[in-house]
Each structure stands twice: as structure tokens, then as C-alpha cells.
Amino acid sequence: MRIVQIVPFIGPGSGVAGVAWNLDRELRKLGVTVENVTYPMTAAGRRSVRVRGWRTARLAQAQRILSFSTQGTRFTKRYLAERPDAVSICHNDVMTGDIYVNHGVLYAAMKARGNSWLRYLRDPTHIYTYLRDRRRYRGAFHRTVVALTDAEANTLRATYGKVRPRIEVISNGVDLERFRPPTAEERQTARTRLNLDEEDRVALFIGHEFDRKGLPITIAALAGAPTVLLLVVGGNERLVHDARVLAGRHGVSERVFFAGEQGDVSGFLAASDMFVLPSVYESSGLVYLEALASGLPVIATRVGVAAEAVRDGYNGYLVPRDAPTIADRMETLAAADLAVWRANARESALPYSWESIARRYLALAERIAAERDGATPSRAPGASS
């Protein structure tokens, strides 16, 4: 079996790049030949926007989206034509591939935050992405669309109408070796680095879009959870400044610590007692699985994989976006003996190993290969609609 992944970037870590990297690694272990088509391959020789601030960063992102969607599609079609035996998995932008993995619905994220069309008009790239994906889901570009949760499959239909390719739900996974409960020594070392005492009860928040991820409501909840400290990982300088001001308004500045953007969050997970992320929208939410695998009970809204993996009172709590409720759950965990909670959290993450997720993708790829060999469709995936 040969599988070609189509992804803007690939590498260890989180996000789409990390998903593709983990699938690559696990599929190879299963004996699959894996190749990857990436944005740098399709953009070789073209000049890119130099990033010198947030404005040029947005321009660079827009250039990448437009280039990978157009020139990248043409490059990939030629690449796949030379490998007729391959089953292809497209992760973003490119308008071809047997399987398309929906890593999120931008319109749904904006709608959940309010003023969705106003947010779209502020960035023409968003309009382009919506129209491109409307054509994608209603056309014959892919044989199968993978949604990361049952709820996200429903979101796809609600956003784009009738989705022409069949939809299959396959969750993202988690690296159970990288994310695991810390030993007593590892926990002590992590807490010492952050100047935490053993009796401190620490809630961890990880996210870059503070408003969508729910940091303001978490800070407000902290006022009603006097025994809890909040450790915030993520955010740029402007977002952190605004969050500090908000913490001051709620009188909790001394209990909120900002670590900024971090490439490796394992030390923060090891130092914490619970994970809090009352996000307004998540297509999946890898960080929920990473927290559970690390043995942290999770306090989350009913979004993404949290709605499926978190069980109230067992490995965390599912909550409304309501500060008093979040405060009550944080205080409940802060007062509890967390040993059982940690064991339950870890146990609930085990079905999401990347090995098991890769096996599901492999089974899907084998079915597609068998269907393709058995009958020739009237219009090949990737043809114009």
C-alpha cells in the first residue's frame, strides 16, 4: 500500500503538521509506503512574503493559502498521476485527493464567536476559503471526507449544505509516549522551575486565540476559585497584555501566570493539577487529549473531542461557558485527592493512540483502493465540477 499525504507543512508538534507527521510515522510502522506533498515542494523557486510583524504574517499566510490551493493543486495532480497505485490523503487547501481531512470549519468558528460575516469581510482570505470549500464539499474532488467528530460532521452539513463525498468520522490521536503522567520526580522538577509549592493547586490553560478558547471567562472564574492558580500558555504580546489587564480587573493578578508561546508544553502539563479550556468551538482539540493522556482531569465545554472523551465526574467536567460553574469545578478538583482522577484521565486517552488512528486510516485507504480497482467512476476525483 502506498499513501501520499498532501499537507502544507509536516513536523512533530501540534496542529495539522503534527497530525500528518504522526500518521506518517505510524503508517510506516504498519508497513505502508508514505510520501508527502508539502507547500515548500509546490512553491519551489517562488518568492515568499518576508514576515516582519503581524501584518506581513497575515500576508504570508494568505499567499500560502492561495498558492497551495491553486498551483499546489496542479502540482499534486501531476504527482499523483505518476503514482496511480497510491491512495491520497489531503489535509488542507489542495483541491484533490482521495480522502480530505476536515481540520476545522472556519465559518463555524467565527459564527460561534459572533459577527461571523463581519469577521469574514475583514479578511478577504476567509471569503476565498469559504467559497473554495463550498465548491470542495459539493463537488467531486474527493471520494471521502474525514470529520474529526460526529458533531463536526453535522457542522459540515449545516455550513455547506449537502456534502457530496461520503463522510467518515475518525478522531485525531495523541502520542501516549510523549504525553503521559509525570513521575514524582518529574512533577517536582517541573513545579520547581515554575516556583510552585507542593500545596499549590494549578489549573492549566493552553491556547493562542484567547477569546475563542475561553481565557476571559476562565480568568473571571478564578475570582470564585480562591485556592486555584492559573497557568496560561500561549498568546502573543498584545493578547497577554490584555489578559493581564483583565486579571487585574477581577482582582486575581497574583494568581495568573503567563508563560507565553511555548514549543514544548510537557513541563507545564507535568506541573499542573487540572486542565481548563472552555472553548466556544473546536473541530477536535488535540490539547484535550494531550491533557488527559498526561493524567490531568479536564474542565471543558461540549466541543470537539472533549464532548466525547470527557465524562462528568470521572475524568473531568463538561461545563457551560459560565464563570461560576467553572469556578465550582476548579474548586472541587482543587480539594480532591487527584490520584483517581489522574488514573481515569490517562485511561480515557488510551483509545486515541496514534497507532489505532493510523489503522483506521489504513483500513479506509484499503477500501478506497479496492473500490477504485473494482469500478471506474464516471468522473474521477479532482475533476472540475
Return the pLDDT at 53: 64
CB 99, CB 88: distance < 8 Å? yes
22 CB-near residues (< 8 Å, 6+ apart): 173, 175, 354, 357, 358
Among 10, 3, 18, which Cα is nearest to 287's?
Answer: 18
Return the pLDDT at 51: 60
42-56, 102-116, 269-283: least confidently modelled range:
42-56
Q: Is the pLDDT score of 121 beyond 90? A: no
* pLDDT bucket at 9, cuts 50 / 70 / 90: very high
Q: Bigger pLDDT: 140 or 53?
A: 140
| Averaged pLDDT, 92-98 | 97
CA distance 273 to 133: 40
| Averaged pLDDT, 298-323 | 97
106 CB-near residues (< 8 Å, 6+ apart): 126, 129, 130
pLDDT in tens, 38-92: 999 998 766 665 666 656 677 878 889 999 999 999 999 999 999 999 999 999 9
* pLDDT bucket at 115, cuts 50 / 70 / 90: low
Return the pLDDT at 52: 63
* pLDDT bucket at 378, cuts 50 / 70 / 90: very low
Quote the mean pLDDT of the chain: 92
Q: Is the pLDDT score of 118 beyond 70? A: no
81 CB-near residues (< 8 Å, 6+ apart): none
β-pair type (274-277, 201-206): parallel
Place of cell 491553486: 70
Q: How many CB atoms lie within 10 A of CB 156?
A: 20
Return the pLDDT at 109: 81
The residues facing 102 across adjacent strands are 147
| Averaged pLDDT, 280-287 | 93
pTM across the whole model: 0.89
Return the pLDDT at 8: 96
| Averaged pLDDT, 249-268 | 94
Q: Is the pLDDT score of 166 beyond 60? A: yes
CA distance 28 to 39: 22
pLDDT in tens, 18-37: 999 999 999 999 999 999 99
90-104, 115-129, 183-197, 313-327: least confidently modelled range:
115-129
CB 18, CB 179: distance < 8 Å? no
Domains of the chain plus CATH, in order, are 2-173+353-374 (3.40.50.2000), 184-351 (3.40.50.2000)
CB 171, CB 356: distance < 8 Å? no
Strand locations in the chain (E) = 2-7, 33-38, 87-90, 99-102, 144-147, 166-169, 201-206, 228-233, 256-260, 274-277, 298-300, 316-318
CA distance 300 to 327: 12
| Averaged pLDDT, 377-384 | 38
| Averaged pLDDT, 186-211 | 95
pLDDT in tens, 154-163: 999 999 999 9
The residues facing 144 across adjacent strands are 99, 166
Return the pLDDT at 3: 98
Instruction: Give percent of the chain above pLDDT 90.
Output: 81
CA distance 279 to 275: 12
Left, alpha or beta for 37 (phi > 0: left; psi -120 to 50: alpha)?
beta
Q: How many CB atoms lie within 10 A of CB 203?
A: 27
